[in-house]
């Protein structure tokens, strides 16, 4: 409330200033013995980006990120992408799928 009083802005104006993001989650079948190769291929393909590999491979971009990880209970790989637009999320997922299909 103090910030509203000082700035003269409404709650709606503050909310409008918060960036909007889209998240898409998907998965694909992947044998357990292939999962490590898929993750390594993703890591290698994005070697120039900021990568976190504590739980799978997360790659950060200026406009979003993509996280790829093998399931511990099913023969699948999960992909989660978050970006400023749906199209960017879909492109990140498509790029990871293309990398995985090449393994």
Distance CA(48)–CA(84), nearest Å, equals 21
Average pLDDT over residues 88-99: 98
Domain 20-101 fold = TATA-Binding Protein (3.30.310)
Give me the pLDDT at residue 17, please.
85
Res 15 pLDDT > 90: no
pTM metric for this prediction? 0.84
Give me the pLDDT at residue 63, please.
94
Neighbours of 87 (CB within 10 A): 10
Phi, psi of 2 (to 5 degrees): -65, -40
Q: Where are the alpha helices (DSSP H) in the chain?
A: 2-7, 11-16, 32-45, 86-101
């Amino acid at each position: 409330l103090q910030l509203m009083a000082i700035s003269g802005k409404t709650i709606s104006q503050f909310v409008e200033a918060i960036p909007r993001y889209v998240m898409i989650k998907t998965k694909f079948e992947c044998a357990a013995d292939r999962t490590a190769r898929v993750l390594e291929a993703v890591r290698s393909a994005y070697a120039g980006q900021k990568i976190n590999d504590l739980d799978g491979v997360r790659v950060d971009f200026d406009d979003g990120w993509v996280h790829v990880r093998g399931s511990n209970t099913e023969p699948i790989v999960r992909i989660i992408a978050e970006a400023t637009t749906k199209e960017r999320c879909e492109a990140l997922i498509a790029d990871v799928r293309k990398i995985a299909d090449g393994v």
